[in-house]
Amino acid sequence: MNSGRPGPPFFSIRGLEKSFSGKPVLKGVTLDVEEGETLVVLGASGVGKTVLLRHLNGLLHPDRGEVWVRGVRLNDLDEDRMAEVRKNVGMVFQLGGLFDSLTVYENVAFPLREHTAWSEREISERVNEMLAAVELEGSQKLYPAELSGGMRKRAALARTLALKPSAVLYDEPTAALDPLATRKINLLIRGLQKRLGFTSVVVTHDLKSAFVVGDRFALLDDGKVSFLGNREAVRRAGDGLMREFVDAAQ
Amino acid sequence: MANNLTAFLSELGEVGLLTRDFARLFLRRPFEPRLLLEQLDNVGVKSFTVVNLTAVFSAMVVALQTGTLLGKFGAKIYVSRIIGLSLFREMGPVLTALMIGGRVGAGITAELGAMSVSEQIDAMRALGANPVKKLVVPRVVATMIMLPALTLIADGFGIFGGMLISITQLGLSANFFLSSLMQMTRLSDVFGGILKAVVFGYIIAIIACVKGLGASGGAGGVGSATTSTVVATSVTILVTDFFLTKLLLTI
């Protein structure tokens, strides 16, 4: 993926600390995500993976430390300027986050109506293109409540990709899905990432899914990154939590 | 006690912050007339029946009680004046606000709360849209427009109810009732009630939005937030009414 001399990282996290109600969750996370790669953040439930992810598009603000996106320091941005960053950094939520009062078509059209002055025909073309990319043709008129868990995740992915962002953040993309739907989502994430070339950060506790979609892997433990490496490094991990993860997955 | 005070001050701070964001985004383009129309319909049209039923029967009770009491002193003729003043100044805006606080305020909190706990609010922010502009502004504006409108209509229905009792139970004529009402009612009485309704509209919608956007913890959290909205809006309306009445009586 990162052949030749790497350019500046897409995401750069420096000494990130975050507490909730006095309880520290992140205790100094430092991590770079290179342009075009898929970094998977692994860790046990409740360790702060989602908290880390939500700092990358400014949904949460650091108590200490810095978050940079393509050279822009998010700490300094107000909500209006953050919106500009978010157009370029999409996010797929664990529960999908689809607007349940809108149809699938209107959900995918939402960011286009919000950020472009496109005609209805142009919007329709892009929505249909995105729904085809996630294999949801024919679902335009359905409401989120009428979709299965896997379909909801795919519709959310289509909505996230509608503006063709440069990076996509995935929060537990396969949580609560059956094995077939999990496989489908993983292949979809990998396929779209290869085809469209965007940078991805995937948060999961599922190592099998991580191996399908990821280029590099970070393990979050006790509020810090305790392991960082590629697939081979994960397999060769000696003692420690990453080894336990690998063994448990097998 | 200390915890309750902290929670109260914290919520007051959130109301202040949301008010600041509302004021900042209220006139920012693009305006979204479709979202406002949806809310005008939800707040106004769908509350029409419940608000007017409340006004009619409350005014009928006032007419019966005051008419019976005043009749003992031979002063039944003042019933229309009492009904007019109490409706325009107090009962119209306060009862309408309490009903809207229960119906619309609770609805806003439940809707925004459900969106919060299912990550829809975060998704909206992540898509570069501002939830205050998209969700809060139309709801607050619609409630501030529709509450005075509903109050005016409720005043009319209340007068009708009071007149009905005055004619059928107290033996007054419709002509006498209306002319006496017109003589004693000043335009400032009606405007005072309308001003109160605008303030109450703002209070209901902003509290409901704060509680809804802050809801967490699944269905239970949404339920508590909704209950809390009804209590908070009712108490705030009654307390604010006292101070507004004091203010209006001095000017």
**Domain edges within chain B:** 29-250
CA distance A198 to chain B (A): 17
Q: Do A59 and B122 touch (CB under 8 A)?
A: yes
A5 within a domain of the structure (yes/no): no
Strand partners, A214: none
Per-residue pLDDT band for A188 (boundaries 50, 70, 90) equals confident
Q: Is it the case that residue A3 has pLDDT exceeding 60?
A: no
Top residue of A54, A80, A143 to mutate, by most chain B CBs within 10 Å, is: A80
A33 within a domain of the structure (yes/no): yes
Return d(Cα B218, Cα B87) in angstroms, integer.
Answer: 41
Q: Which amino acid does the sequence have at B110?
A: A
A114 within a domain of the structure (yes/no): yes
Per-residue pLDDT band for A116 (boundaries 50, 70, 90) equals very high
- pLDDT confidence of residue B171: 86
Contact between A60 and A18 under an 8 Å Cβ cutoff? The reply is yes
- pLDDT confidence of residue A6: 58
Structural domains in chain A (count): 1
Contact between B147 and B204 under an 8 Å Cβ cutoff? The reply is yes
A163 within a domain of the structure (yes/no): yes
The domain of A164 spans 11-249
A2 within a domain of the structure (yes/no): no
Return d(Cα A242, Cα A232) in angstroms, integer.
Answer: 12
A6 within a domain of the structure (yes/no): no
Residue of A nearest to B30 (CA): A114
Strand partners, A24: A19
Contact between A172 and A203 under an 8 Å Cβ cutoff? The reply is yes
pLDDT in tens, B96-111: 999 999 999 999 999 9
**Tokens for B213?**
């956007």
Q: What is the ipTM of this complex?
A: 0.89
Q: Do B126 and A115 touch (CB under 8 A)?
A: no
User: The domain that contains A229 carries what CATH number?
Assistant: 3.40.50.300
Top residue of B18, B38, B127, B139 to mutate, by most chain A CBs within 10 Å, is: B127
pLDDT in tens, A63-99: 999 999 998 999 989 888 999 999 999 999 998 899 9
Contact between A242 and A227 under an 8 Å Cβ cutoff? The reply is yes
Say which of B115, B120, B127 has its CB closest to residue A86: B127
A153 within a domain of the structure (yes/no): yes
Q: Which of residues A26 and B76 earns the better pLDDT score?
A: A26
pLDDT in tens, A38-47: 999 998 888 8
Torsion of CA A12, A201, A10, A16, to 10 degrees: -10
Secondary structure (3-state) at B125: helix
A4 within a domain of the structure (yes/no): no
**Tokens for B164?**
């009905």
Neighbours of B143 (CB within 10 A): 32
Strand partners, A217: A40, A229
Q: Categorise residue B8: left if φ over 0, alpha if ψ from -120 to 50, beta otherwise.
A: alpha
Give residues with Cβ within 8 angstroms of A18, minimum separation 6.
A24, A25, A26, A48, A51, A55, A60, A62, A63
Residue of B nearest to A83 (CA): B128
Say if B32 is an interface residue toward chain A (CB within 8 Å): no
Encode chain B (251 residues) as per-residue pLDDT tens digits.
677 788 888 888 999 999 999 998 888 878 888 889 999 999 988 899 999 999 999 999 999 999 888 888 878 888 888 999 999 999 999 999 999 999 999 999 999 999 999 999 999 999 999 999 999 999 999 999 999 999 999 999 999 999 999 999 888 899 999 998 888 888 888 999 999 999 999 999 999 999 999 998 888 999 999 999 999 999 999 999 999 999 998 87
Contact between B74 and B174 under an 8 Å Cβ cutoff? The reply is no
- pLDDT confidence of residue B10: 86
